[in-house]
Structure 1
Amino acid sequence: MAVSVRGLYFVVTLFLGSFFGSVFMLGPVLPLMLLSPAWYRWLTDRIVATWLTLPVSLLELVFGVKVVITGDGFVPGERSVIIMNHRTRLDWMFLWCCLLRYSYLRLEKICLKAGLKAVPGFGWAMQVACFVFIQRRWEEDKRHLENMLDYFCDIREPLQLLLFPEGTDLTENTKAKSDVFAAQNNLPELEYVLHPRTTGFTFIVDRLRRGDNLDAVHDITVAYPKNIPQTERHLILGLFPREIHFHVRRYPVSSLPSSSSELESWCRQRWAEKEVRLRDFYSGQPRGFDRDGVARVPPCKSELRVALIKAASLLYWTSFIALCFTGLWLWAPVRLYFVILVGVFMTQQKLVGGLELLELACHRYWKTSSVSEKNKVVDGKMQ
């Protein structure tokens, strides 16, 4: 199949937006990390959120993707863990269509594979956004999760952390592995989802709950009634999803089990429900989670406001990319700045391992300094 002009436009626009955005929008605020990680986090979350609107505007305005959202919805601004079935490798990006309407994109963090942080542009922006990168080696991941989650609790910055308990997207190969796991653990075989790995989920919920930084768990089921773009290659070929359906279930933190073992069972119950829900979705006509196609909780933004945000995003990022090329072509200082910042991003990756790790180190430094100062004051008063 030939590469699609539409697909190339989509991928190249997203890449250039993330690449130039990392250099010219996020780069100037990097020094703030050294002075105040909390203020740096507040500011960069809002800058990154402007880019997160770009895929939504391209998908819906340019390529006509229809988004249907049913279920409970969100309480705007609340702190939550979002768990979702991983039908394709692109579910995380499509979810932004839902969050733009029902929440605030600046709150979102994603738990994802560590290898992605090294991707120029996309990876740099995700590092600055303080996404949670995991190695899939639990002992290492546990320590990293502790540090990241404790940091978010310390600075009191609300977040909505997206987690895929299945660990990977649904394919023939991953389904076969899930079936083996089911046989080894006396679990039923599943057709529409993979069996969830619950260790990370229970740890994250417990840690955030202990740090008083969790209001709810949102269980989201995603489905594609017409065509399923499984990988990035499908987008390059121009095979965009014609419709994306999300069904949201909201569970207040007070309703969650208190013990880890009960929380594991609770997560498995949600996946058993997803299996039934998706079977009904794909066997019914017309395909949908709710035949009326309405959400029980209205979105926090009107469709007019969402349309204006999408139009403004498309206009801004198109102009921004053109302006960056113009600046690089015409002005030597812009080229010098560009080279320096690209060097900074690449060098810190090798020396530190990622900007999110440097941010954690800065926070620990200031936290330790603050404690030391308080101890000196107390000692001085006692003397």
Structure 2
Amino acid sequence: MDTTSELRQRVPLNKVPQPTSSADFVHPSGRAKYGRFRSYFRALTFSIYFTLGIVATHVTQILGSPLYFIDKDLYYAYMSLTKANFGLLTTTMTQWWAPTVIRVSGDASVAGQLSLTPDGRIECAFPERLVLIANHQIYTDWLYLWWVGYTSNPQMHGHIYIILKESLKWIPFIGPGCMFLSFIFMSRKMATDRPRLAHRLGKLKTVHKKPDGQTYLNPMWLLLFPEGTNLSANGRNKSAAWAAKSGQQDLQHLMLPRSTGMYYCLSELKGTVDYVYDCAVAYEGIPRGKFGEDYFSLSSTYFQGRPPKSVNFYWRRYAVADIPLGSAEEFDQWMRKIWAEKDELMEQYMATGRFPANGAGIKGHIETEVRTKHWWEFFQIFTMLGAFGLLFNVILKLFRQILRN
């Protein structure tokens, strides 16, 4: 890998276009593809589809919630199906309203785990239990990473767990739905969050027993954003101030990671998860020193036809056994080292428009797009609710028949 200083010499800072006002603002994806009327129409159709999908998923969760008092294992298996349905919802809405190129590479630690199917879809062979960490560029990072779970063999989009801001709990349908999905809401105060984390992580490391006596752990991808929030001017300023105050080396393209929550998670899950997968995420065309949130809003991405031209992933894997979990200080140093390396990867991306291509046994980069294997898979979002409707209709007819007799 080229050094950071060498890469900076390739693209001097004063030659990188940096919009400073609305007059010279240039969107990385070019002009809006759709005019005002078509943008409004796309917004309407998107809203209808997303609302129907959210309502169908949440009502399905409510109807299945009594299973918790009957059989907890059955309840969690049922909720994982609703989680997979939500993953299909986000995948299909991106496929139809915001198609984009996904460009993937990685180092030698993920060799043989990334491949391209004959029909052009990526397939990853990641394990069923892992902790996934990533830098947080824009609010839709989690959407693309959830799709990665869909591409896994076996599919893992029904077994993803995300740590969210506590404020999201109060959004209608979304908040309660995420609670049914066993997502973890954090207040960012460890004294308050520790009992919640302990309870939820305890669920994730519960050992189950088959009828034949064999034991197993449920599949789990725990997604963490160690930076705590998405990258922004305010976040970068706070990160730089903290670096200066604590005597740490500041980063160019990322915010300093917060290690406390991840340290606690890995300490609790140790012995039940073998690997941490790190994903460096970059969006094509964001000028040096600027931030994705200023370009890729919901309106720009889904309504105006200006999604990122490409979303770029670079994967690395770390064995939990090799991660220093002996003390919080040692872990913090390890975490900062990982983020410094990721910052160099981001510098290479800024300078060349590509993450490194070698190391993962891949010729060049894998290029694909966010899409489902079959066009009709979106029907699965509504299948469970439809089954409840049919069952209710049958019961209602039987009840009427009894009354007539």
Query: Residue 165 of structure 2: which of 113, 134, 141 is its match?
Result: 113
Partner of 2:331: 263
1:15 and 1:241, CA in 2 relative to 1: closer, same or farther beyond 3 A? Answer: farther
Secondary structure at 2:350 match in 1: helix
Partners of 1:167 and 1:281 lie apart in 2 by: 23
C-alpha displacement of 1:180: 0.5
* 1:279-290 paired onto structure 2 within 5 Å: 279-284=347-352, 287-290=353-356
Alignment partner, residue 193 of structure 2? 141
The alignment partner of 2:158 has SS state of helix
Letter in 1 for 2:376: A
Unaligned stretches of 5+ residues in structure 1: 335-383
Question: Is contact 1:85–1:221 with CA below 8 Å preserved after alignment?
Answer: yes
Q: How does 1:113-192 map to 2 (within 5 A)?
A: 113-155=165-207, 156-192=217-253
- In structure 2, runs of 5+ residues without a counterpart are 1-31, 114-123, 208-216, 287-291, 397-405
**Structure 1 Cα separation of the partners of residues 385 and 83 of structure 2:** 19
What residue identity is the alignment partner of 2:193? Answer: D
- Note the C-alpha offset of 1:320: 6.4
Judged with a 3 Å threshold, the aligned counterparts in structure 2 of structure 1 residues 323 and 104 are, in CA distance, closer, same or farther, namely closer
Across the aligned residues of Structure 1 and Structure 2, the Cα RMSD in angstroms comes to: 3.1
How big is the shift at 1:215?
A: 1.7
Say if 1:133 and 1:225 are closer, same or farther in 2 by CA, change over 3 A.
same
Residue 288 of structure 2 corresponds to residue 222 of structure 1 = no
Instruction: Assess, with a 3 A threshold, how the Cα gap between structure 1 residues 120 and 191 changes in structure 2: closer, same or farther.
Output: same
- 1:95 corresponds to which letter in structure 2? L
2: CA distance between counterparts of 1:157 and 1:307?
26
Within a 5 Å distance, the mapping from 1:311-326 to structure 2 comes to 311-317=375-381
TM-superposition CA deviations, 1:100-156 (whole Å, max 9, x none)? 223511221000111212222222221111001111111011111011101221253
- SS of residue in 1 equivalent to 2:205: helix
Find the residue that maps to 1:106 and give its secondary structure.
coil
Given that 1:84 and 1:164 are in contact with CA atoms closer than 8 Å, whether structure 2 keeps it comes out as: yes
Distance 1:136 1:233, change over 3 A: farther
Give the TM-score taking structure 2 as reference length: 0.70
2 CA distance for matches of 1:75 and 1:309? 16
SS at match of 1:109: strand
1:251 aligns with 2:318: yes
Residue 49 of structure 1 and its aligned partner are, at CA, apart by: 0.7
Structure 2 CA distance for aligned equivalents of residues 12 and 94 of structure 1: 21
Q: How many residues align?
A: 316
* Conserved 8 A contact 1:170-1:194: yes
How far apart, in 2, do the equivalents of 1:131 and 1:77 lie? 20
SS at match of 2:355: coil
Instruction: Identify if the C-alpha distance between structure 1 residues 242 and 142 changes in structure 2 by more than 3 Å, giving closer, same or farther.
Output: same
Distance 2:125 2:102 in 1: 20
Q: Which amino acid aligns with 1:198?
A: S
Q: 1:272 aligns with which of 340, 344, 351?
A: 340
What is residue 201 of structure 1 aligned with on the other side?
Answer: 262
| Offset from partner CA, 1:202-221 (integer Å, 9 cap, x none) | 01000111xx3212101111
Structure with more of its chain in strand, by fraction = 2
Distance 1:269 1:8 in 2: 45
Measured after TM superposition, the shift of residue 4 of structure 1 is 4.4
Identity among equivalent positions (%) equals 25
Of 56-65 and 245-254, more deviation after overlay is shown by 56-65
1:50–1:313: 8 Å Cα contact kept in structure 2?
Answer: no
User: Contact 1:54–1:313 at 8 Å: present in 2 too?
Assistant: no
How much has 1:41 moved relative to structure 2? 0.9
Amino acid of the structure 1 residue aligned with 2:309? R
Measured after TM superposition, the shift of residue 21 of structure 1 is 1.4
Does the 8 Å CA contact 2:50/2:93 hold for their aligned counterparts?
no
Contact 1:60/1:66, CA 8 A, preserved across alignment: no
Secondary structure at the aligned position of 2:193 is classed as: helix
The C-alpha deviation readout for 1:51-80, integer Å capped at 9, x for no partner, is: 202222232355321112211246444311
- Asked whether the equivalents of residues 85 and 380 of structure 2 are also in contact (C-alpha less than 8 Å), the reply is no
In 1, the alpha carbon distance for the partners of 2:371 and 2:297 equals 27
In 1, distance between residues paired with 2:185 and 2:134? 17
